[in-house]
Amino acid sequence: MKKKALLAVLLAMSLLLSSCALIVKDPAVDAATVILKLGDREVTKAEVQRSTTYYLNQMEQYNAMFGQNLDITSPDVIASAQDTAVAQLKQDMVLRAKSAELQLDQLTEEELASAEEDAQASWEELKDDIKNYDLSDEEKALEGEELEAAIQAKLDEYGIKYETYQAQAKDNIVSKKLKDYVIKDVAVTDEEVKADYDSKVAADEEKYKEDANAWVSADQNSTTFYYTPAGIRRVKQILIKFKADDQAAIDEAKKAVTEANNNLTAAQDILDDEEASAEDKAKAEEDKAAAQEALDAANAAVKEATEKAFENLDADADAVLEALAADPDSWDKLQEEKNEDPGMKPGAAHAEKGYSVCEGMTSFDSAFVEAAMALQSVGDTTGKIRGESYGYYIIRYVGDEPEGPVDFDSVKEDLHSKLLSDKQDETYKTTVDGWIANAGIKEDLGALKN
């Protein structure tokens, strides 16, 4: 767990266990004002304020993830957090009441044991996080009872108790039992699955039929497709990368190119400036000439460094090609042993099927794409192809993506599972919304404005 995430959890837990209120500091009698009531369950103003503070913190953390600042003192922001808090507290009241009515809150010994196991696991994980992120270096070096005492001190500081984790673990089991009760009869028909398949095929055909490049780009993110356009093939590669010293020399030469280009642009800007003095323009002419000379030298250095880098790879690349010529079936072994492309390493997303490529694709090095598409037959292999940035590519044509809709039977099970999950979630939400609407909760929301 990251430091910020841990702090968010700790703050949330401490808020739920404390009696602080962000919005107002009211006397005890005001804090005890009943805002919501259902049967013998009451929610006080203090509880709403604590929950509101929690949601304000969540909103602030969420916006911070995207580099945005949220003013949590804004009345509109507070009102939004308060609405969320009240809605969640009402739902919690109703679900607890319904679980009790259905006797789902009566846990068996096995369920209690499972809850205790979950609570203990979460508690130990929290303690590890506190040790890793919240203790000083001196405290981290402690062992045994002294380390436990340091961790416990932090837990006490944050107001976190093990009993809260126990209660949450039990609540989680009750919540699952309640949802299982609601969705037990939810089903998805074969007709619904086929209709969903047809819809997805039509959408993908419209999106990709005339744009194979978009399909290939999406495939790099492991997108699930229901229609494949013509002209897409699969290739694998063995990348022979530049040696570290050679790559460093190329990078250094490219830095000089960038610097020279910047100086050239700066000089030209002065020459194009109608308000620049004659003296400044004369100096800019000299700077431009110097920058052009430096650029020519830098480009020559890049070319020289690149040529040297390829020369230093020739033996390695030739050895791979010789091994393939001697035994074409040794590709997989060589790909695992000699390849330096992380995307072709065992376990990588495209290592088994290969990269998808098509004519004119723009997301890969053009030298790679042209060589891959120039191969005539499945099983053909290129020679050593000079890449623009990394070294030599050795590419094998391993197959074609079949044009047209994906086979229905190959996706039927996944579609069924997704449809069923969505239908279950919607059924549960609709049922819970109905329970809340008909629960007869007594409200005094006006008291929150005082």
- pLDDT tens-place string over residues 100-111: 999 999 999 999
Per DSSP, 446 falls in state G
pLDDT band at 401 (very low <50, low <70, confident <90, very high): very high
Q: Is 159:13 a contact under the CB 8 Å cutoff? A: yes
Tens digits of residue pLDDT in 251-266: 999 999 999 999 999 9
Q: What is the mean pLDDT of residues 118-137?
A: 94
Q: What was the pLDDT predicted at 449? A: 83
Q: What was the pLDDT predicted at 297? A: 95
- How many Å apart are CA 108 and CA 115, to the nearest integer? 10
Q: What was the pLDDT predicted at 267? A: 92
- How many Å apart are CA 218 and CA 226, to the nearest integer? 12
Residue type, 164: T
| N-to-C CA span, the chain | 39
Written as six digits, the tokens of 62 are 């969420």
pLDDT band at 287 (very low <50, low <70, confident <90, very high): very high
Torsion of CA 208, 213, 214, 219, to 10 degrees: 100
Q: What is the mean pLDDT of residues 149-169?
A: 93
pLDDT at 19 over 60: no
The alpha carbon of residue 201 and the mean position of all alpha carbons in its chain are separated, in whole angstroms, by 26
Percentage with pLDDT > 70 across the chain? 94
pTM (predicted TM-score): 0.74
Q: What was the pLDDT predicted at 389? A: 87
Q: What was the pLDDT predicted at 150? A: 94
Cα atoms in the Cβ-side hemisphere of radius 13 Å centred on 409: 0
Q: What was the pLDDT predicted at 29? A: 87
Task: Compute CA distances 380 → 365, 376, 393, 414, whole Å.
Answer: 20, 7, 14, 35
Q: What was the pLDDT predicted at 28? A: 84
pLDDT at 2 over 60: no
How many helices, marked H, and strands, marked E, lie in the chain?
15, 9
- How many Å apart are CA 62 and CA 80, to the nearest integer? 14
Q: What was the pLDDT predicted at 14? A: 43
pLDDT at 179 over 80: yes
Tens digits of residue pLDDT in 369-397: 999 999 999 999 999 999 988 999 999 99
pLDDT at 9 over 60: no
Cα atoms in the Cβ-side hemisphere of radius 13 Å centred on 6: 19
Residues, the chain? 450
Q: What is the mean pLDDT of residues 198-221?
A: 95
Count of CB atoms situated within 10 Å of the CB of 358: 22
pLDDT at 24 over 70: no
Average pLDDT taken over every residue of the chain: 91
pLDDT band at 343 (very low <50, low <70, confident <90, very high): very high
